[in-house]
């Protein structure tokens, strides 16, 4: 079997790339395709030094910094990629990778992190946060309209969908009218160690962009001067968030992994206010034995065990992205602090280890390969 792995773009090492790394571990002889590849030589370890076949966007002006501006060309770029010589195609897609063209004798399995968020249900939020109005707004809306049509049409080229959470499985059903199987993404829990003794502070960590809602968390703790909050992360909203921080809120900016891990291990609880497709950071915090105070929507509902539903809880939820909801949740957490065990948090996190992902994906692919090619032989 000749296998091709298709990835959207290679510009950093984040959640989607950790999934890609595990797929490469399973299929080390597979060939790798990506629209662009701008990973630095010293950071290519997760690719196992594998050569990457890129699209024409790689050579377009300013593509290294502004590859996203070529979104209107991405459907064409992914369709230009020739994978006709491969038996099995595995796409890891949060944008256009699933749109690669395959034939009837090929098996295409697409692991979907999310249908294109900013083209579907998050379009209005994206336009609002980007401040796109008037002519620019109308132009972007037209581009996204065309992207949606293409995205829906190319779902027919996928034989089997995999989703990274049940939340995304519902989104796939909504936009593509297709069923999917959930295989949770790999989280390197072995990189985090359990610490049972906690300090008195709360922690949040994220890139500072609007949908992460770090500003909301900071506003909430500014209303609780007796509680200490540490914030790790940088991004375009840093100065705006800094302006909202009171004396009990400490913005540390970007920090190394070792510093992040240290704070995660010592924190009383990790606060998470975003609506994520899956959300790796809360799992990493639990791997440190740290309970979670999370927004009760999206992937967090599948990774955090509420004290109201289990004898071995790992956190609790708030259900509105409002400061008063977070303030109330923090008080609720402190009122029930004795219910949360660092060991329970760690045990829950281990369920998302890379070994589990690899085994589930391997079994799924092997089963579908057997079914697909047996059926083709009979025909």
pLDDT of residue 147: 94
Q: Residue 317 in contact with residue 305, Cβ under 8 Å?
A: no
pLDDT tens digits, residue range 39-64?
999 999 999 989 999 999 999 999 99
pLDDT of residue 135: 86
User: Does the pLDDT at position 379 exceed 70?
Assistant: no
The angle, 0 to 180 degrees and rounded to 10, between the axes of the packed helices 354-378 and 15-26 is: 60
CB atoms < 10 A from the CB of 217, how many? 27
Q: What is the mean pLDDT of the chain?
A: 95
pLDDT tens digits, residue range 156-196?
999 999 999 999 999 999 999 999 999 999 999 999 999 99
pLDDT tens digits, residue range 207-249?
998 889 999 999 999 999 999 999 999 999 999 999 999 999 9
């Amino acid at each position: 079997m000749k296998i091709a792995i298709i990835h959207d773009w290679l510009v950093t090492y984040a959640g989607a790339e950790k999934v890609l790394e595990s797929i490469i571990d399973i299929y080390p002889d597979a060939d790798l395709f990506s629209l662009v590849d701008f990973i630095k030589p010293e950071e290519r370890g997760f690719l196992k030094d594998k050569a990457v076949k890129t699209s024409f966007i790689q050579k377009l002006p300013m593509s290294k910094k502004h590859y996203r501006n070529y979104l209107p060309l991405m459907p064409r770029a992914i369709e230009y990629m020739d994978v006709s010589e491969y038996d099995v195609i595995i796409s890891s897609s949060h944008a256009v990778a699933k749109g690669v063209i395959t034939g009837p004798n090929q098996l295409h399995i697409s692991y979907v992190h999310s249908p294109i968020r900013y083209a579907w249900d998050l379009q209005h939020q994206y336009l609002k946060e980007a401040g796109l109005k008037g002519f620019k707004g109308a132009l972007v809306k037209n581009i996204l309209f065309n992207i949606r049509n293409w995205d829906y049409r190319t779902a027919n080229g996928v034989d089997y969908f995999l989703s990274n959470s049940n939340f995304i499985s519902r989104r796939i059903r909504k936009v593509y009218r297709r069923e999917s199987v959930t295989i949770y993404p790999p989280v390197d829990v072995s990189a985090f160690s359990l610490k049972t003794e906690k300090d008195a502070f709360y922690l949040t960590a994220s890139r500072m962009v609007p949908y992460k809602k770090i500003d909301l968390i900071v506003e909430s703790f500014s209303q609780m001067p007796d509680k200490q909050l540490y914030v790790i992360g940088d991004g375009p909203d840093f100065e705006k968030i800094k302006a909202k921080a009171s004396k009990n809120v400490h913005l540390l900016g970007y920090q190394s992994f070792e510093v992040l891990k240290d704070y995660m291990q010592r924190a009383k609880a990790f606060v998470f206010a975003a609506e994520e497709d899956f959300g790796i950071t809360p799992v990493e915090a639990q791997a440190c034995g740290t309970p979670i105070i999370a927004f009760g929507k999206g992937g967090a509902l599948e990774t955090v065990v509420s004290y109201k539903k289990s004898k071995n809880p790992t956190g609790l939820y708030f259900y509105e992205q409002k400061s008063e909801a977070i303030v109330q949740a923090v008080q609720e957490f402190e009122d029930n602090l004795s219910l949360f065990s660092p060991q329970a948090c760690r045990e829950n996190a281990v369920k998302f280890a890379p070994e589990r992902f690899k085994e589930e994906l391997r079994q799924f692919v092997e089963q579908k390969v057997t079914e697909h090619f047996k059926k083709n032989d009979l025909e």
